[in-house]
Amino acid sequence: MKRVNSTPRPGWKAFAQSVGFNFHTFDGEPYWDESAYYQFSLQQIEQDLEDPTEELHQMALDLVDDIVSNEQKLRLLGIPQRFWDAVLASWRSKEPHLYGRMDFSYNGTGPAKLLELNYDTPTSLYETGFFQWVWLEDQLMRGELPQGADQFNSLQDKLQQAFSELNLPQPFYFASVTESIEDKGTVDYLMDIALQAGLNCRYIQLEQLGDIDGQLVDLEGFPVQGLFKLYPWEFMLQEEFASTILTSQTQFIEPLWKCLLSNKGILPLLWQKYQGHPNLLPAFFDDGSSLQNGWVRKPLLSREGANIELLTSDGKTLKQDGPYNDSGYIRQALAPLPKFADSYTLIGSWVVADSAAGICIREDNSMITKDSSRFLPHIILD
C-alpha cells in the first residue's frame, strides 16, 4: 500500500458536473482529489480487506440474532421499546438488506482494524462505484497508469445484481432529505442502477412522504409499498411519523433491523462475542469515567466523525464537535490511522447483499475522518 502522486485529468471538473457529480468540491475545498492515488497489491486487497470484510459482515449478522430478542441489549443500544417487536419481526421475516460500509484503519500490513459499521445510510457510494471506476478507465486509456492496473470496485455490478434479485415492490420509491445535494446524488445513483436493473423507480423528497390512516403514501396519495430511505432509522423512530412505521405496509431498504448495526453499540457487543478477533478493537460501553490515553469515545449514533473524542497514546486530545450529543457513548481502543504524505488515511469497505464489493479511501489532515475528508481513488497493481 502506497500513495502515488498523479496528474489530475484535464477538465475533470466539467466532466464531473456532466455526470451528476455536483459535490466534488465541499465548501470550496476539494472533496474528490485525484492529485494522488493509493496503490495496493492484490494480496493486500484480498487477504487483508476483502476476506475480513465478509467475515466481519457475517459476525455482525450473527450478532443481530443475539440482540433482537434480548431486552438488555436492545436497551444498551437505545432502541425505543415500542419498536422492539417491529425490529424483531423485520429480522425474523428476513427482510432483505442492500448495502453497508465498514471503516478500517489499515496501513498495508497486519490485520485491518474495524473502526465502525455504516450499515444504515452509507454514502460516498457514487464516488466509489462510478467516478473512481471511470477515473481508472480514463487513466488507463491515457497511459497514465500501468496497463494491468485494476481496482477493488465491483460496487455497481453488485448493486445492479442485488436490485434485480431483491424482488422489490414496484413502483419502488427513493427518498432523501431535500436540502442535501450529496444525499440526492447518492440516491440518484442508486435509482440509476435500479432502473438499469429493470425497476420502476420514483423519487420523493423525504419531507413529502404522506400518511393516510397509517399508510405511507406518495404525493398523489398512492401507497408507498417499497422505500429506499437515505435517512437514519434512529431519526425516523423519534419523528412524527414514527408510528406510521409500525402500521404502514411498506418494505424498507435498509430494513428496520439495520438500526441495530448502524449503532456503535455494536462494537462492544462484537468485542464481547468475538474477543481477540484480529480485526476487532477492544470496545466497551462508556461508563462516563475519563478517557485513558490510546482510547476513543464515540456516540452510539453519529455520522461523519461528529462528536468523537480521541486521546492519542502520548496523551494528546482530539475532539470533533457535532450535532450528535444526545445518545449514549462507547469507547474503543485507538487504532491510529496511518499517515501518508501529510494525511491520515481511512479505508471504507463496501458490502452489497452479503459480498465485499470494493473500497474507497478518505484522507484528512486530522485523525478523525469527517464529511469534508478528501476522497482519493486507488488501484491494484502487483
State the number of CA atoms in the 13 A half-sphere of 164 facing the CB: 11
Phi-psi region of 124 (alpha: psi -120 to 50; beta: other; left: phi over 0): left
Asked if 336 and 367 count as a contact pair (C-beta separation under 8 A), the reply is yes
> Whole-angstrom Cα distance, residue 178 to residue 206?
7
Contacts of residue 361, Cβ cutoff 8 Å, sequence gap at least 6: 38, 345, 346, 347, 348, 375, 376, 377, 378
Q: Which of 213, 287, 314, 342 binds another protein (CB under 8 A)?
A: 213
Query: Site residues for another protein, window 174-203 (CB under 8 A)?
Result: 175-180, 182-183, 186, 188-189, 191-192, 195-196, 200
Residue 381 binds to another protein (criterion: CB under 8 A): no
Closest separation between CB of residue 92 and another protein, Å? 25
Query: Which residue, 46 or 95, is less far from another protein as judged by CB?
Result: 46
3-state secondary structure of 188: helix
Q: Using an 8 Å Cβ cutoff, are 361 and 38 in contact? A: yes
Cis ω before 171 (30° cut-off from 0): yes
Question: Using CB under 8 A, which of 1, 99, 106, 122 touches another protein?
Answer: 122
If one asks whether residue 212 binds another protein (CB under 8 A), the answer comes out as yes
The cell 486507488 sits on which residue? 378
Binding of residue 83 to another protein (CB under 8 A): no
Q: Is 121 in the site for another protein (CB under 8 A)?
A: yes
> Applying CB under 8 A, does 30 fall inside the site for another protein?
no
Q: Do 360 and 151 contact (CB within 8 A), yes or no? A: no
Query: Is residue 243 within a helix (H) or strand (E), and if so which, with residue range?
Result: helix 242-247
51 binds another protein (CB under 8 A): no
The Cα 261–Cα 255 span in angstroms is 11
Nearer to another protein, 111 or 210 (CB): 210
Size of the site for another protein (CB under 8 A): 74
The interface with another protein within residues 292-311 (CB under 8 A) comprises 302-304, 306
> Residue 153 carries which DSSP code?
B
Please give the residues from 99 up to 118 whose contact with another protein meets the rule CB under 8 A: 118
Query: What is the CB-side half-sphere exposure of residue 183 using CA atoms within 13 A?
Result: 17
Subset of 229-248 contacting another protein (CB under 8 A): 229-232, 235-236, 238-241, 244
Instruction: Specify the residue, 12 or 274, whose C-beta has the smaller distance to another protein.
Output: 12
Give the torsion through C-alpha atoms of 204, 210, 212, 216, to 10 deg. Answer: 50
Which residue number, 68 or 139, has a Cβ lying nearer to another protein?
Answer: 139
For residues 326 and 77, is the Cβ–Cβ distance under 8 A?
no
59, 63, 98, 217: which one binds another protein (CB under 8 A): 217
Cα(211)–Cα(250) distance, rounded to whole angstroms? 12
- Of 277 and 370, nearer to another protein (C-beta) is 370
The CB-of-9 to another protein minimum distance in angstroms stands at: 16
Can residue 284 be called a binding residue for another protein (CB under 8 A)? no
Query: How near is the Cβ of 87 to another protein at its closest, in Å?
Result: 18
CB of 24 to another protein, least distance (A): 14
Is-contact 346 362, C-beta < 8 A?
Answer: yes
Between 122 and 255, name the residue whose CB sits nearer to another protein.
122
* 283 near another protein (CB under 8 A): no
Cβ nearer to another protein, comparing 58 with 178: 178
Chain residues 123-152 in contact with another protein, contact rule CB under 8 A: 123-124, 129-130, 133-134, 136, 148, 150-152
User: By CB under 8 A, is residue 364 in contact with another protein?
Assistant: no
Among 16, 63, 166, 206, binds another protein (CB under 8 A): 206
Q: How far is Cα 171 from Cα 168, in angstroms, rounded to an integer?
A: 9
User: Could you tell me how far CA 275 lies from the centroid of its own chain?
Assistant: 24
Q: Is residue 281 helix, strand or coil?
A: coil
Identify which of residues 231 and 295 has a Cβ nearer to another protein in the complex: 231
- On the CB side of 207, CA atoms within 13 Å amount to 4
User: Is residue 317 within the footprint of another protein (CB under 8 A)?
Assistant: no
